[in-house]
Amino acid sequence: PAEPGTTVVFVLGGPGAGKGTQCARLVQDFGFVHLSAGDLLREERNRPGSPYGELINTYIKEGKIVPMEITIALLRIAMSKSGGKRFLVDGFPRQMDQALKFEELVCESKIVLYFECPEEEMLKRLLKRGETSGRVDDNIESIRKRFETFRDTSYPVIEYYDKIGKVKKVSCLNPVDKVYAQTRRIFDEMFK
Ligand code: UP5
Ligand code: MG
């Protein structure tokens, strides 16, 4: 398990909601370490000699969830390498069994930050980003599949944490600064 005194915040929300954007701001103001599960998977995919490169790429393109053994291992390594104690775990867990496994093996989450955004808006943002991102999943076919996975498999994770009172919801249908003002308020209350 993680060191005593470790704080984990799960940062969830649909594809393109703005998780990464908001996490970058939180890092500046609250000194959390930002760990995007998607970024860690893309890094592992690009690492020469990785046995998982091809598998990860296929899953990402198809908008499917990479087997959790891989993702949890990457998160654990990144956590211990960082030397930090407060973590924003962005884009993970995406499936109920991943949530339970991570909390059993690593650390219970303190809160779940949920960035709520309508699909229409997320679609617009992702297509725009796709013009320059080079991400293999920023195209209309992959985006549709990502939305489907979010609805069917990842959203129930948010519902689970909501039932036990851990979810802090922020609407993403505003400019970045305004979304951040709301996010910041939550962190001011909890982590100042
Ligand atoms: N933008 C952001 N906020 C805005 C605002 N308020 N107004 C206007 N524009 C805004 O933002 C997306 C775009 O929108 C950017 O261009 C931004 O400028 C703009 P970003 O902050 O990047 O949103 P984010 O929610 O982080 O979107 P991302 O595409 O990263 O979300 P996904 O959840 O789809 O991607 P992730 O990298 O987490 O996962 C990718 C894939 O990896 C998954 O589909 C899956 O195949 C795999 N994966 C796993 O298998 N397991 C995991 O645990 C994690 C990932
Ligand atoms: Mg992201």
Least distant ligand from the CA of 144: 1
- Please tell me the predicted confidence (pLDDT) of residue 52: 98
| Nearest atom in ligand 1 to 125's CA | 14
Q: In the structure encoding, which two tokens stand for residue 54, read together?
A: 């091809």
Tens digit of pLDDT at every position of the chain (192 positions): 889 999 999 999 999 999 999 999 999 999 999 999 999 999 999 999 999 999 999 999 999 999 999 999 999 999 999 999 999 999 999 999 999 999 999 999 999 999 999 999 999 999 999 999 999 999 999 999 999 999 999 999 999 999 999 999 999 999 999 999 999 999 999 998
- Please tell me the predicted confidence (pLDDT) of residue 6: 97
ipTM: 0.99
Q: Confirm whether residue 21 is marked as ligand binding.
A: yes
Residues written for the chain: 192
- Atom 2, ligand 1: residue with shortest CA distance: 18
What Cα–Cα distance (Å) separates residue 105 from each residue in 76, 142, 190? 10, 31, 24
Evaluate: CB of 20 within 6 angstroms of ligand 1. yes
Q: Confirm whether residue 95 is marked as ligand binding.
A: no
Q: CA 55 to CA 51: how far, in whole Å?
A: 8
Q: 41 in helix, strand or coil?
A: helix
- Please tell me the predicted confidence (pLDDT) of residue 192: 82
| Nearest atom in ligand 1 to 37's CA | 54
Least distant ligand from the CA of 138: 1
Q: Confirm whether residue 167 is marked as ligand binding.
A: no
- Please tell me the predicted confidence (pLDDT) of residue 71: 98
Evaluate: CB of 42 within 6 angstroms of ligand 1. no
- Atom 16, ligand 1: residue with shortest CA distance: 129
pTM of structure: 0.98
3-state DSSP of 48-85:
CCCCCHHHHHHHHHCCCCCCHHHHHHHHHHHHHHHCCC
Least distant ligand from the CA of 40: 1
